[in-house]
Amino acid sequence: MAIPFYVAPDQMVQDKAEYARKGIAKGKSIVAMESAVGITLVAENPSASLNKISEIYDRIGFAGVGKYSEFENLRKAGIRYADLKGYAYSREDVFSKSLANAYSEVIGNIFTREIKPLEVEILVVEVGETPEENQMYRILFDGSISDHHGSVVIGGQAEKISQFLRDRFRDELRLEEAIKLGKEALEAGQGGPIRENTLEVAILDRARPGRKFRRFSALDLRELLAKASLGS
């Protein structure tokens, strides 16, 4: 048997991380923001059918950047996880915390064990009954997890966009203001205007009964953005 080349563990981790980062950097960013009505998710997505933002369960939403097939698989696994839990126990027992931890474990394991790490970064957000109970988790390609309040960004230009939001984000934004700010933040990230029809926007609306997730159609979006421009 041939002896495999020895690679130092830190070297291997570094290489994998670099590989993953490179993959993710190609992807467009996604912004999640707490607002008066709930949690708003704004993404740039030229495709109208291959979504980056999705519903997981009653109060829980998901967003992924990077390689579509990879975060799509994670999304599906998350829906199975949540639906199974809700079916075996009750709908109130499905929380984003356990889901985010499960994601972190899976992604972390793949990062350590597989040759190729996942080239994804995901968000798991949950709208609470009060704004204080909102949860937003960001999970990186190596499984590291962090929780956030106010706003959180994933994707290639996350750093730049976070900086942009730091000065402008405030609590209790109205829905249309949040969408407008999200759009402007994404534009600041990529350094150019974004057309409305390439925006993918969804909300976890606290006021909705049962399933709180709602995706906005292109028409809704145009109206909301027009309303926001009038207001400002």
Partner 1 sequence: MDVTLTGHGSSFYDFVHVEHGYLLPRFHVPESGAAPSFAQPPHGTTILALKYLDGVVIAADRQATEGYQVASRHIEKVYKADEYSAIAIAGAAGPCIEMVKLFQVELEHYEKLEGEVLALEGKANKLAQMVRQNLPAAFQGLVVIPIFAGYDLRKNEGRIFKYDITGGRYEEGDYYSTGSGGKDARNTLKKFFRPGMTREQAVRLALEALLDASEEDVATGGPDPVRGIYPSVKIVAQTGTNDLPEDEIRRMCEALLSERRR
Contacting residues toward partner 1, per CB under 8 A: 49, 51, 54-56, 73-74, 76-81, 83-84, 86-88, 102-103, 105-106, 110, 211
Tokens of 21: 């980062």
If the CB atoms of residues 33 and 82 are measured against partner 1, the closer one turns out to be: 82
> 103-121 b/e with 16+ CB inside 10 Å = b?
bbebbbebbeeeeebbbbb
Tokens of 119: 């080239």
If the CB atoms of residues 103 and 169 are measured against partner 1, the closer one turns out to be: 103
Q: What's the min distance (Å) between Cβ of 64 and partner 1?
A: 12
| 31 touches 185 (CB < 8 A) | yes
Q: What's the min distance (Å) between Cβ of 111 and partner 1?
A: 13
Q: What's the min distance (Å) between Cβ of 110 and partner 1?
A: 8
Which residue reads 């249309």 in tokens?
176
Sheet holding 213-215, edge to edge: 151-154, 30-34, 38-44, 199-205, 213-215
If the CB atoms of residues 41 and 153 are measured against partner 1, the closer one turns out to be: 41
Q: What's the min distance (Å) between Cβ of 143 and partner 1?
A: 12
If the CB atoms of residues 86 and 131 are measured against partner 1, the closer one turns out to be: 86
